[in-house]
Amino acid sequence: MRWLLIGYMFLFIDRPFEVWPWLGDLHVERIYMLFTLAVWTVTPNKRWLPNIQHAAYASFAMAVSLAWLASPWATQGQNVVEDWFKIVVFYFLLVTTIRDEEGLKRISAGCLAVMAIYLLHSFREYLGGRYTYRMGTTRMIGVDNTLGDPNSFGASIVFSLPLVTAMWKSGIGGRYHTSLLIGYVGLASLCVLLTGSRSSLLGMGVWYMIVIWGTRYRFTAFAAFAVAAPLAFIALPDELQNRFETMINPEVGPKSAQESREGRIQGLLTGFDLWAANPLTGVGPGAWRPATGSTIESHNLYGQILGEIGTLGAMAFLSLLFCFWRNLRAVKRVRKQYPQERDDLIYTLPSSIGVAVFLLLLMGNFGHNLFRFTWLWYGGFLIIARHCVTVRETEWEPVAEPLAEEATLPEGWVLHPPHGSM
């Protein structure tokens, strides 16, 4: 079952049926999921892992459903709702079949391997001349159509980087695996730069800062980063240099780049307006464009939440964040009790997921990532990790401390060796 889930990850991320239309005509993704569901029904020892985060996802699903049913633009938002509930199905399969440490290692490593294939595939197509020209800049795109937009593609890369940290700290696979992780970070960094996505560059920079600060040689690493970053910037084409420079100096770029930057703030303000007009359920998921008459999406997570799913959705989303925090805190508490195990994947993966959630919230200021698969996939990983930590804590047996070699004698007493000793 693990390999079937990893295979579905590949179909979901790389989406070969969008690359080769004849595969799309065959609906291979639907056939694959139906086959996976059939295998799941006969898989033994399925179990629903108890965790309060399931309830948070259920409340969010109810809020999304109510907002969609109440929306005057329900037809336009149907695809968004259907696609999100497909991710929910995968989440259900994940948390009912993966319940041990070995399975968690396989599925998290498989997720990163799938992302590596996706990046390699997209980079190959980029070298072959497949890219988009937008805002006066040639920008790399993903091979798929769903999340292949430069900004979405860059965001997918950034959100995958915390998995590298988890794998690196756990030391799975030895030196060979370490080399692959270094190669992935290099490829990921190159792809983010080539997308020309300013929000992705910011997210990647924040991830680098978090990683560097967590090392013992942080000041040396900061110095090396301070040297490498300008060199990488200089190596970029002039058009990409100008685009990234607009992050601090909007005047150097075209007017469209400045308008794009201001559009993120406008997305938040528009979200407040939509919420004021529809406070309970918003205008409905996926209904941003028809409700506002805009040609683009909100490009702001917080405007998207309030505008599309209203107060009910915002409360459900906050409950989900609370559950993430609660699970992360529980794992951290156990990790402190057993410092000798702190580098095991069941501990490093949750902390990395915490970083990923932070990046999702940070980059949510510049992108509408509310219905991104990352929220559910990483939530499933965290639930499984929490379960594995609980099992290990239950099975842990304290080791008896050895007796002291020398006893402390009362003051004035002298311990004489036995007769016949040297």
- Segment 68-102, tens digit of pLDDT: 999 999 999 999 999 999 999 999 999 999 988 99
Contact 116, 122 (CB under 8 A): no
114/11 Cα distance (integer angstroms): 9
With 80 as the cut, is the pLDDT of residue 289 above it? yes
Question: What residue ranges in 92-144 does DSSP mark as E strands?
Answer: 132-134, 137-139
pLDDT at residue 252 in the model: 60
10/110 Cα distance (integer angstroms): 9
Question: Nearest Cα to 281, choosing from 303, 254, 308?
Answer: 308
User: Which two tokens mark 234?
Assistant: 């200089």
pLDDT at residue 408 in the model: 54
Q: Which residue has the higher pLDDT, 178 or 374?
A: 374
pLDDT at residue 233 in the model: 84
What is the mean predicted confidence (pLDDT) over 266-281? 91
- Segment 256-265, tens digit of pLDDT: 556 556 667 8
With 60 as the cut, is the pLDDT of residue 416 above it? no
pLDDT at residue 420 in the model: 45
What is the mean predicted confidence (pLDDT) over 343-371? 93
What is the mean predicted confidence (pLDDT) over 274-295? 91
Phi, psi of 208 (to 5 degrees): -60, -45
With 80 as the cut, is the pLDDT of residue 294 above it? yes
For the four alpha carbons of 99, 101, 105 and 108, in that order, the dihedral sign comes to positive
| Sole residue written with tokens 């959705």 | 313
The contacts of residue 282 (CB under 8 Å, 6+ apart) are 67, 71, 274, 275, 306, 307, 308, 309, 310, 313
Which pTM value belongs to this model?
A: 0.88
| Sole residue written with tokens 């501990």 | 347
**For all residues of the chain together, what is the average pLDDT?**
87
161/158 Cα distance (integer angstroms): 5
Question: Nearest Cα to 378, choosing from 53, 134, 41?
Answer: 53
214/216 Cα distance (integer angstroms): 7
Helix H or strand E encompassing 41: helix 28-42
State the amino acid at position 132 in one-letter form: T
60/55 Cα distance (integer angstroms): 9
For the packed helices 101-127 and 345-363, what is the interaxial angle rounded to 10 degrees?
Answer: 50
CA 416 and chain centroid, separation: 67
With 60 as the cut, is the pLDDT of residue 215 above it? yes
Report the share of the chain in percent with pLDDT over 70: 89
Report the share of the chain in percent with pLDDT over 90: 57
Phi, psi of 139 (to 5 degrees): -125, 135
- Segment 307-337, tens digit of pLDDT: 999 999 999 999 999 999 999 999 999 888 8
The contacts of residue 7 (CB under 8 Å, 6+ apart) are 32
Mean pLDDT lowest among 19-28, 163-172, 326-335: 19-28
What separation in angstroms does the CA of 6 have from each of 38, 94, 106, 108, 111?
16, 10, 9, 9, 7
